[in-house]
Amino acid sequence: MNTTVDETLRSRVRNLDAMPAMPAILAPLLRCLDLPPDQIEVEKVTELISCDKSIAAQCLRMANSALFSRYTHIETVRGAVVALGARRLRDILWTSFLIRMAPKNQWPLNPTAFWEHSFGCALVSQQLARKVLMPDPEKVYLCGLLHDIGELVNATLIPDDFRKTVEFAVSKNISLFEAELEIMGFTHCETGKLLGEYWNLSPDVQKTIEFHHMPGQSPAPAALPALVHLSDLLCRLRGMGYGYDELLEVDFHTDPAWALLEQSVPQLDRFDVARFTLELDADAEEIRHVVAAAFQT
Amino acid sequence: MASPPTIVNQNAEKESGPVDPVLVRIRDVIYKVCGIYLPDNKFYFLKDRCARRLEALKTDSLQVYFDALTAGPDREAEVRSLLNEMTVGETCFFRSPPQLHALRKIMLPKIMAAKAKLSFTRLKIWSAGCSTGEEPYTLAMIMLEDSAAYLQGWKWEIIATDLNDRSIAKAKEGIYDSYAVRNTEPYFREKYFRAQGQKFALAPEVKERVTFSRLNLSDESKILFMRGNDVIFCANVLIYFDGASKRRTVRHFYNNLLPGGYLYLGQSESLYGVSDEFHLVHFPGATAYLRPSLETPGGAGR
């Protein structure tokens, strides 16, 4: 981003502290879960999660979903902690936290759409990473979950511009990204990057937030922004978009992100995109259930 | 083709609990042999259809059935029998709304923009394996609707072929029961159908827009004459073909499309491993196969 745009942007989005803060328990919880597996204290993690009834309820609901676990009868927080393991628990905690941040009032789109899309993109990114045998597929969940976090910044801090952007995107059947460039001159990639810095997210997540629409401009390696770019498209194509009619035609093999991902995943040319797309329809159904249930609380 | 079927989306209760791994293997065999893929939320449907075959074969073991399907002396016939159970011999109007939406909003406008540059103002769509005519007549209705809008000034024709003479005769007759119009919005029902007792008779202006003829897709001498299409629809027909015939027919479809034209298959079908020439493209809720033109990124012959 050039300096002038950066300064203008920072001045417009200057109240980042007006964004919802992370719940008090999240940082100590993540610290506990980041310890080597043999040092993680199940009792302490259970106790911390139990402190926040809303997070505890969300964790239990997701722990019982087929999307996260093979078990369907987990009834206690302790049971969830043991059954899921640190990595999945961390994913679920982040997801629960973000669902609580839902901008229920100032969101000019279907309020669940943002979460279906973010949660969907997290899961699709992770599944795609596993299917194409990408190294360390676990870390892509958070990249997918947070890739559009800039939309939350826009909805919260510049609601009038955000509303105009959405109306323009809906009327022209184009992506929010294109509409933002047209209406505001900057996009959720840039505002998301500011929040990513403010929240001190990992460099991988920050890079994905900033470059998921233009992975070709990302510093190498660009595999994560490229993979999330493809997953983002797949979600928007298979009923997990922003809830309006976006006229998209995508040829994954000729998308520049495909070639970028191929640099890290040479076996990508043998990947069956058609089958993966059809598989997603089952996940989309489950994602809608989980998000709908999460919004009822 | 003989009664192109629809994959039935039964609203049967989903069963909870882990899926039988043999069922997963049957799903994968069906995909490998026929190119039709049922996602995890359709296992209940596959299980139900396998149960019918188990009953016919007088066994109660899914493993025994899997062996019959993959290693038995009649395995090809058994695959066909299972496909028959998975499909029904009838279709309906407006069967796949996402495909039709992409056709109207994305495909045709794009094809027309490219053709207009060359001063061409004609479009041709082929419904291959049209059965009793619901698919091509649906196309005729939506194109009649658009003829005063973006299709203004353009000529268009819809060719429909099937192997089965009786299907073609019924298609030409244009009289349907209420089951065939179950997905048809009241607007289209009122505008393009006339009540005939308990039946629905298509309006002449729709019937006259479709040209029907008998064609065997395996007849290479005849299929060569089906050139110059912008879009080909061929839903749930190729699943019955063996690998070599499928590759041959898909090659013909490719040659019979103009560059920049599209092939639509059934919603659960895939050409993975069948064609290197077509580009798989995604639209909202639908996929199609594109014959690339010079303007297509990545071009022809990927």
Question: B280 and A252 in contact by Cβ < 8 A?
Answer: yes
Same domain, A143 and A192: yes
Q: Measured between CB atoms, does A279 come within 8 Å of chain B? A: yes
Q: Measured between CB atoms, does A289 come within 8 Å of chain B? A: no
Pairing of strands B210-214, B155-162: parallel
Residue B180 pLDDT exceeds 80:
yes
Same domain, A42 and A149: no
Complex prediction ipTM: 0.88
Q: What is the pLDDT of residue B14?
A: 41
Tell me the CA end-to-end span of chain B in Å, nearest whole number: 31
Q: For A124-159, write each residue's pLDDT tens digit.
A: 999 999 999 988 887 899 999 999 999 988 988 888
Same domain, A66 and A31: yes
Alpha helices in chain B (DSSP H): 21-34, 43-56, 62-70, 75-86, 97-102, 108-117, 134-146, 165-173, 186-192, 204-207, 220-223, 243-256
Instruction: Point out the domain boundary residue: A49, A70, A100.
Output: A100
Q: Measured between CB atoms, does A104 come within 8 Å of chain B? A: no
Contact list in B for residue A254 (CB cut-off 8 A) is 279, 296-298, 302
Q: What is the pLDDT of residue B8?
A: 39
Instruction: Point out the domain boundary residue: A36, A71, A100.
Output: A100
pLDDT average, residue stretch B268-272? 92
Q: What is the pLDDT of residue B263?
A: 98
DSSP B104-130: IIIIHHHHHHHHHHTT--EEEEEEES-
pLDDT average, residue stretch A267-284? 91
Alpha helices in chain A (DSSP H): 3-12, 26-33, 42-51, 53-63, 77-100, 113-131, 140-146, 149-157, 159-172, 176-183, 188-198, 203-211, 223-237, 256-264, 273-295
Question: A248 and B282 in contact by Cβ < 8 A?
Answer: yes
Q: Note which residues in 213-272 of chain B have CB less than 8 A from chain A.
A: 268, 270-272
Q: For B74-110, write each residue's pLDDT tens digit.
A: 988 999 889 888 875 558 999 999 999 999 999 999 9
Same domain, A214 and A264: yes
Q: How far apart are CA B156 and CA B66, in angstroms?
A: 48
Question: B270 and A236 in contact by Cβ < 8 A?
Answer: no
Question: B106 and A249 in contact by Cβ < 8 A?
Answer: yes
Handedness of CA A205, A208, A209, A211 (dihedral sign): positive
Residue B42 pLDDT exceeds 80:
yes
Residue B158 pLDDT exceeds 60:
yes
Instruction: Give the three-state DSSP class for A268.
Output: helix
CATH architecture of the domain B97-290 equals 3-Layer(aba) Sandwich (3.40)
Q: Is the Cβ–Cβ distance between A235 and A125 less than 8 Å?
A: no
Q: What is the pLDDT of residue B4?
A: 39
Kindly list the domain boundaries of chain B, sorted by start residue: 12-86, 97-290
Instruction: Count Cβ atoms below 10 Å from residue A146 Cβ, excluding itself.
Output: 27
Q: How far apart are CA A210 and CA A205, in angstroms?
A: 9
Q: What is the pLDDT of residue B15?
A: 45
Q: Is the Cβ–Cβ distance between A232 and A212 less than 8 Å?
A: yes
Share of residues in chain B with pLDDT > 90 (%):
75
Residue A243 pLDDT exceeds 80:
yes
Q: Where does the pLDDT of residue A102 fall: very low under 50, low under 70, confident under 90, or very high at 90 and above?
A: low
Contact list in A for residue B100 (CB cut-off 8 A) is none
Q: What is the pLDDT of residue A279?
A: 92
CATH number of the domain to which A111 belongs: 1.10.3210.10
Q: How far apart are CA B192 and CA B194, in angstroms?
A: 7
| Domains: count for chain A | 2
pTM of the predicted model as reported, rounded to 2 decimal places: 0.89
Q: What is the pLDDT of residue A234?
A: 97
Q: What is the pLDDT of residue B3?
A: 40
pLDDT average, residue stretch A40-59? 87
Domain, as residue range, for A66: 21-100
Same domain, A201 and A287: yes
Residue A281 pLDDT exceeds 70:
yes
Mutate to test the interface with B, among A65, A249, A252, A273 (most CBs of B within 10 A): A249
Q: Measured between CB atoms, does A49 come within 8 Å of chain B? A: no
Same domain, A90 and A140: no
Q: Measured between CB atoms, does B197 come within 8 Å of chain A? A: no
Residue B141 pLDDT exceeds 90:
yes
Question: A252 and B272 in contact by Cβ < 8 A?
Answer: no
Same domain, A211 and A263: yes
Q: Note which residues in 13-32 of chain B have CB less than 8 A from chain A.
A: 16-18, 31
Q: Where does the pLDDT of residue A34 fall: very low under 50, low under 70, confident under 90, or very high at 90 and above?
A: confident
Same domain, A289 and A187: yes
Question: B298 and A252 in contact by Cβ < 8 A?
Answer: no
Same domain, A49 and A194: no
Q: How far apart are CA B255 and CA B191, in angstroms?
A: 37
Same domain, A12 and A144: yes
Q: Where does the pLDDT of residue B7 fall: very low under 50, low under 70, confident under 90, or very high at 90 and above?
A: very low
Instruction: Point out the domain boundary residue: A100, A121, A142.
Output: A100
Contact list in A for residue B287 (CB cut-off 8 A) is 274, 277
Q: Is the Cβ–Cβ distance between B29 and B109 less than 8 Å?
A: no
Q: How far apart are CA A72 and CA A90, in angstroms?
A: 19
Same domain, A52 and A183: no
CATH architecture of the domain B12-86 equals Orthogonal Bundle (1.10)
